[in-house]
Amino acid sequence: MKIIGFIGPSGTGKSHHALVVAYDNHIDSIIDDGLLIYQNRIIAGCSAKDETNRMRAVRCAIFLEPSHAAAVREALSRVKPEKLLILGTSKHMVQRIREALYLPPVDAYIRIEEVSCAAEIAKARAIRKAEGKHIIPVPTMELKSHFHGYLLDPIRSFLHNRSGKKGPDFEQSVVRPIFSYYGKLIFSDDVFFALIRHCLAGIDGIVKVNRVKVAKNYVPGSNGLAVVLGVTVRYGVHIKTLMQRIRCSLQDDIEYTTGMSVDILKITVRDVVE
């Protein structure tokens, strides 16, 4: 199976352009916000846009629930697509989806800027911010049995590809998820500091946490974190194994609790003690 990642910040129009990207690249299967779409039909998964808050939506989109991931893996093994388009806000998000679904490595990435002009991206951002509208790239009749949030209207997309040639006519669905009514959810730095220190306290081999620094949304429009740590470790521990445990534990705890991904993790061993 050939895996193509389609990436761009949230609200820039990835779902709107997904069908044209798939058409241009001869792809008949799409992973978008927790759904597996095959030949313009939803065949597995549940929509992140049907969740009641943003944290649950992010967890749904990256298949953190084992039963959700298992259902999509089973559907993929059944239809056996030659190519799969995975939508994500970053390469890291696409990689997390790929790992959750046991998929092969990503063959190539397409960025939203390659298929949409600056004016279209700005318009998509404005609509998302002002009206909370999202697009799911399937016809509305196909979506009704899967989506229980606020359905708006079907739209027909007359999009052009990168060469300027008009593509086929696609029907898509405009929805306003329940979580779009609640505005932004903001975590203070103290929340991350407490969460990180609590996580590290349970890892054998760490004697002291010397430094914790967190940068939120360090890439504009992303939902990611950059975490910098300084630690004191116990003499005799295997450093490489310990660093791997720290990375996995922090990613799991932070992503499950906050819905934000750890995109960058830098760890410095400040000291080794008996």
pLDDT along the chain (274 residues), means of 10: 94 90 93 93 90 81 94 96 95 93 96 91 84 80 70 62 58 74 66 90 91 76 78 92 90 76 87 90
215 in Cβ contact with 266 (< 8 Å) = no
- Tokens (6 digits) for 132: 């909370």
Q: What CATH code is carried by the domain that includes residue 235?
A: 3.30.70.1350
Assess if residue 76 is contained within a domain.
Answer: yes
Contact at 8 Å (CB) between 78 and 49?
A: no
Q: Which of 114, 139, 164 is the last residue of a domain?
A: 139
Residue 170 covered by a domain: no
d(CA 139, CA 41): 8
The strands making up 170-176's β-sheet, listed across from edge to edge, are 134-136, 170-176, 150-157
Number of domains in the chain: 2
Strand partners, 154: 173
Integer CA distances (angstroms), 20 to 29, 84, 163, 265, 269, in order? 12, 14, 12, 35, 48
Same domain membership, residue 134 and residue 41: yes
CATH number of the domain where residue 54 is located: 3.40.50
pLDDT for position 152: 67
Same domain for 37 and 133, yes or no, is yes
Is 157 part of any domain?
Answer: no
Q: Of 89, 93, 92, 78, whose CA–CA distance to 36 is shortest?
A: 78
Residues 122 and 215 in one domain: no
Q: List, edge to edge, every strand of the sheet that includes 261-273.
A: 206-216, 224-234, 261-273
For residue 103, the model assigns a pLDDT of 97
In a domain, 47, yes or no: yes
Does residue 18 sit in the same domain as residue 130?
Answer: yes
* pLDDT computed for residue 182 by the predictor: 47
Q: How far is CA 155 from CA 16, 41, 85, 183, in A?
A: 10, 16, 22, 25
Q: How many whole angstroms separate alpha carbon 3 and alpha carbon 20? A: 16
- Asked if 34 and 126 sit in the same domain, the reply is yes
Give domain status of residue 159, yes or no: no
Domain membership of residue 74 (yes or no) is: yes
Enter the pTM of the model: 0.68
144 belongs to a structural domain: no
Residue 137: is it exposed, middle or buried by C-beta count within 10 angstroms (0-12/13-18/19+)? buried
Domain limits for position 128:
2-139
**What pLDDT sits at residue 57?**
85
Q: Where are the beta strands (DSSP E) in the chain?
A: 2-7, 29-32, 35-38, 41-45, 83-88, 106-111, 134-136, 150-157, 170-176, 206-216, 224-234, 261-273
Question: Do 36 and 95 have their domain in common?
Answer: yes
Residues 233 and 112 in one domain: no
